Amino acid sequence: MVIITGGPGSGKSVIALSLLGELSDRGYSALHATGSRSFTETMRRVVAKGSTRMRAMFKYFNNFMTANPNELDVLICDEAHRIRETSANRFTKSTERTGRPQLDELIAAARVPVFLLDEHQVVRPGEMGRVADITAHAHSLGLAVHQVDLDAQFRCGGSRKYEEWVLRLLGLDGDAPEAWSDDDHFTVSLAESPHKLEALLRSRLDAGYAARMTAGFCWPWSAPNGDDSLVADVRVGDWARPWNVKGDRAVGNAPASALWATVPGGFEQVGCVYTAQGFEYDWNGVIFGPDLVYRDGRLATVRNASKDPELMRKKVSDEQADRLIRNTYKVLLTRGMMGTAVYSVDPATQEFLEKLLEPRV
């Protein structure tokens, strides 16, 4: 088994797609799989480009519940941090609810399983895609594990320096936050308001760059209005915008959920972590909600300020919720390839960010 780790922009998905193409050219049976509907549907739409044969090469992790052992030569599990405890969901037939770990199904399906992941992108309860979990399971099966850790020299975009700054900011690496210092290849700025955040990103969009705005899951997510328009749920003072579409059908000019990050029209909605994860765009805007605020010298999480139903479950401990909220903002903050602008709805947090970032908006 092969495990490839790396942060955003380190080239994991480029490696995954290159591997898929190379193995297929050599005549090996290989498939690409993820646990993200947005990511898989985008691969089918963009990479497969209408080819039925190629479209079938992009699967979901739960497609291997009934696979025969070593059915494939190689199974490439991209975004493997999204591996779940089991593949069963509310639509699974009772005869298929075996309780078998999803990780076990993926390992068994191929002679060589490959897992590409970033541990700091585990954002949902029940996600099991950690190096230690995968390695322990492989060793229990007597399998050899080859681990490759990507570093800055492999990056396809973004900034390793910025990623490390984000880890410190969110308290994910044990070091204290520090002021941002310039990077010739990446820009970080603080917006004074959501109006100015949106204006900055729109100027980048108008200049021909890809740009999107995201936010912490701190506002309700309503179904469309009766006239098939989206509800402007994300409200900060007199500024309001809708979340991205929930389902697989476009609503007006707003694209289907899976295509929010990649097709025109997505800029007009605020993306959530489940839609943004797995994608990068040139310019990134992030609104810090009241679930992550500056208190007593550090950023603290406020679980009851979240509107994410996944975090409301009683089986999720406060410690787990704290980690998931921090990981959520790590994902949101690391989508930009050229720059990121941030704004916080909490005055104390905005003041804290101002000390770390020179206001440039």
Domain, as residue range, for 76: 2-152
Q: How far apart are CA 316 and CA 325, in angstroms?
A: 12
Q: Is position 361 within any domain?
A: no
pTM of the model: 0.84
Please, what is the average pLDDT of the chain?
91
Looking at the structure of the chain, the number of domains it has is 2
- HSE-up (13 A, CA, CB side) for residue 171: 13
Which one, of 223, 224, 241, lies nearest residue 232 by Cα? 241
What's the pLDDT band for 152 if we cut at 50, 70, 90? Answer: low
Q: Are residues 148 and 215 in the same domain?
A: no
Q: Are residues 123 and 138 in the same domain?
A: yes
- The one-character DSSP state at 67 is P
- pLDDT (mean) for 114-128: 88
Q: Which pLDDT tens digit goes with each residue over 210-261?
A: 999 999 999 999 999 988 899 999 999 999 999 999 988 899 999 999 899 9
- pLDDT (mean) for 274-282: 91
Q: Are residues 125 and 209 in the same domain?
A: no
Q: How far apart are CA 257 and CA 248, in angstroms?
A: 6
- pLDDT (mean) for 116-145: 91
Q: How far apart are CA 356 and CA 255, in angstroms?
A: 35
Q: How far apart are CA 208 and CA 282, in angstroms?
A: 10
Decide which of 95, 119, 152 is a domain's last residue: 152
Q: Are residues 143 and 263 in the same domain?
A: no
Q: Are residues 175 and 242 in the same domain?
A: yes
For residue 184, the model assigns a pLDDT of 77
Q: Are residues 316 and 179 in the same domain?
A: yes
**CATH classification at residue 85:** 3.40.50.300
Decide which of 121, 152, 183 is a domain's last residue: 152
Q: Are residues 69 and 143 in the same domain?
A: yes
Q: Are residues 135 and 169 in the same domain?
A: no
**CATH classification at residue 275:** 3.40.50
Q: Are residues 120 and 210 in the same domain?
A: no
Which one, of 327, 342, 328, 290, lies nearest residue 180 by Cα? 342
Decide which of 131, 152, 173 is a domain's last residue: 152
For residue 248, the model assigns a pLDDT of 84
Q: Which pLDDT tens digit goes with each residue over 164-217?
A: 999 999 999 878 999 998 777 899 999 999 999 999 999 999 999 999 999 999
Which one, of 296, 287, 9, lies nearest residue 164 by Cα? 9
Q: Are residues 81 and 148 in the same domain?
A: yes
For residue 361, the model assigns a pLDDT of 47
Q: Which pLDDT tens digit goes with each residue over 312-344?
A: 888 899 999 999 999 999 999 999 999 999 999
Q: Are residues 110 and 173 in the same domain?
A: no
Q: Is position 260 within any domain?
A: yes
Q: Is position 224 within any domain?
A: yes
Q: Are residues 146 and 176 in the same domain?
A: no
